[in-house]
Each structure stands twice: as structure tokens, then as C-alpha cells.
Chains A and B, each alone.
Chain A
């Protein structure tokens, strides 16, 4: 079955979603990522969705679940490159993506991950950034 590749850069796992993916591929990604976080003891996951044309509530749920599972495994998930049209649409749709961190670009996302990983290892309290809880 077709799978989305997961690349490893140091402590960080990198996923670029290029295709309009099937539900099954999304679920497989969720599984693969969870396994790799544990096996490679990754501290951060960067998910680049800049090539995606739409995100519906199912994909929103998968992305949210990835963030939650990562958090349980002591790993941060950052979603980068969301298109403005998608941000507007999923906000209207009501997808909240609670708990997932976001950044504008892959570069900014890696900076954010490194900051979070570093501030945690220093034992400092860091400001947690949360996405939208509007109702």
C-alpha cells in the first residue's frame, strides 16, 4: 500500500504530505509516525501540508490525533505551511486542531521545534502555544 514517507533529521521527524491522500493513507501515517517516534526516540515531528489543497474534518481529526499521540510520547508536533484558504475553511467547518502547534514555513517550524525541545531539556517552563479553542 502507498505510504507517506517519514524522514529523520536528528531528533526531528519530517513528513511532507504531497498528495491528496486517502483516508487509509492518513490512518497509516498516524500509525507509522507513532511507531517511529518510539523507535527512534524522536523529540519533534514536523508535518508540512503546504501542497495540500484541502483538509476536511476527517483529516483534521487525523492531524489532531497525531498531535495528541505525539504529546503522550513526549514529542512535539508542528504543522507547517497551511494555505490561507484551508485555514479559513477548516475554521468555518469547526475543526479546532486543539493542541497542535503551527508555523508558517518549514524553517519556522524547525526553529519552533528546536526551541521547544531545548527549553524542555533546560528544565525551563516554556510558553505553550495552542491553536484555537473558539466556539
Chain B
């Protein structure tokens, strides 16, 4: 897998969630994702950015355009140095929430994307990376 381009955005205020969404939207349109998939990716980005802000006390989003021999994709990585997640499996369950969302953030984002990787240590922050692919025709 090769990274073709990369963009980074800080997440430290509510407005940044919208900025992340806009950046993600640009890349998904560039890659010619279908409207439904664009919406899914933007929504996943929104969920994860909000997690980074509210649970992780802020962090950054890395938006990458990635490339394989027969497919292209978008990879979104969200990093924070917040309190981390003690029980990842529980955090992935629907309805689990520490803040004011619906508790669908992590599990929902996982359902909306093709790949989902999470790493977290208590008191040492969380990194979530999600990818969605589009076949080259």
C-alpha cells in the first residue's frame, strides 16, 4: 500500500469537526466514491473526530489518500493523548458512552468503513484508523 497524499488537521474545538468533515469530503469526491459511500465516510469522520475532541480531549486527524495495485482508498487516522480506553471491546458496543453522543461513535464508524484498527492504552491516548476502498475499474 502506498500513500499518495496526506493532510493533517488539529482537533481542539468544535469547529474543527466541521473542518475535518470538509477535508474528508474533498478527498472522497476526488476519489469518485458513490454518494452513499461519501456520506458514510464523512459521517464516520464526524463520529471519530467528536470522540477525539470529547473523549480524547483533542488531538489530530490525518487524512490520507492510499493506493494499492487494484484499488484506491481513503484512510483516516485520529490520534489523541487523552485518558485512553480501558476496555476497547466495551467501547465498541453500541450504547456505550462517556459523553453526550448516542454512544455509537466507535462501533458505528466501524460499520461504515471497510477497515478499522484501534489502539489505546489507559492514560496514554487512543489512535483509531479507518479505511474505505474503491476498486479501480
Identify the A interface with B (CB < 8 A): 20, 22-24, 53-58, 60-61, 83-86, 88-90, 92-95
Evaluate contact between B43 and A56: CB separation under 8 angstroms. Answer: yes
Contact of A54 among B15, B43, B102 (CB under 8 A): B43
B residues within 8 Å of A by Cβ?
14-15, 17-18, 21, 25, 35-36, 38-40, 42-43, 46-47, 50, 94, 100-105, 107-108, 111-112
B108 touches A94 (CB 8 A): yes
Give the secondary structure class of B's interface: helix
CB-based contact A94/B104 at 8 Å: yes
Q: SS class of chain A's interface: helix, strand, loop or mixed?
A: helix
Complex Cα gap A85–B102 (Å): 20
Nearest-CB residue, chain A, relative to B34: A85
* Cβ distance A83 to chain B, nearest Cβ, rounded Å: 8
**Interchain CA distance A88-B38 in the complex, whole Å:** 12
A-B residue pairs in contact (CB < 8 Å), sample of 27: A20-B21, A22-B14, A22-B15, A22-B18, A54-B21, A54-B43, A56-B47, A56-B50, A57-B101, A57-B103, A58-B46, A58-B101, A60-B102, A85-B36, A85-B39, A85-B40, A86-B39, A88-B36, A89-B36, A89-B39, A89-B112, A92-B108, A93-B47, A93-B112, A94-B108, A95-B104, A95-B108
Complex CA–CA separation, A69 to B60 (angstroms)? 35
Which of chain A's residues has its CB closest to B17's CB? A23
| A55 B36 Cβ-Cβ under 8 A | no
Closest B residue to A94 by CB, please name it: B104
